[in-house]
Amino acid sequence: MFLGQVKSYDPKRGYGFITIPNHPEEGEVFVQRQAFAHTSLDQLVVGQEVYLEIAEGKQGPQAVNLQIK
């Protein structure tokens, strides 16, 4: 798992971006609401730290198995 920080998130659309400072290959990844590991979690806040895994999506790397730090 990687530690990242929420760069942007639009709760109405259910997606945003997370920066991952210690992952040189993927400095920023896409995140969708479906990536949340806990179904009770429904939004992210800019600046919030999260744990995540990275998977290859249709348009590049994206966050999966997202958990709040």
Give per-residue pLDDT as tens, 4-62.
999 999 988 989 999 998 776 768 999 988 888 665 566 788 999 999 999 988 888 89
Whole-number Å distance between alpha carbons of 60 and 69: 24
What is the reported pLDDT for 33? 83
Identify the CATH number of the domain in which residue 10 sits. Answer: 2.40.50.140
What is the reported pLDDT for 31? 92
Whole-number Å distance between alpha carbons of 39 and 23: 26
What is the reported pLDDT for 38? 66
Domain that holds residue 58: 2-68
- Secondary structure of 16-46 as H, E, C letters: EEEECCCCCCCCEEEEEHHHECCCCCCCCCC
For residue 19, give the nearest of 34, 32, 33, 8 by alpha carbon: 8
For residue 18, give the nearest of 32, 3, 29 by alpha carbon: 29
Q: How many domains does the chain have?
A: 1
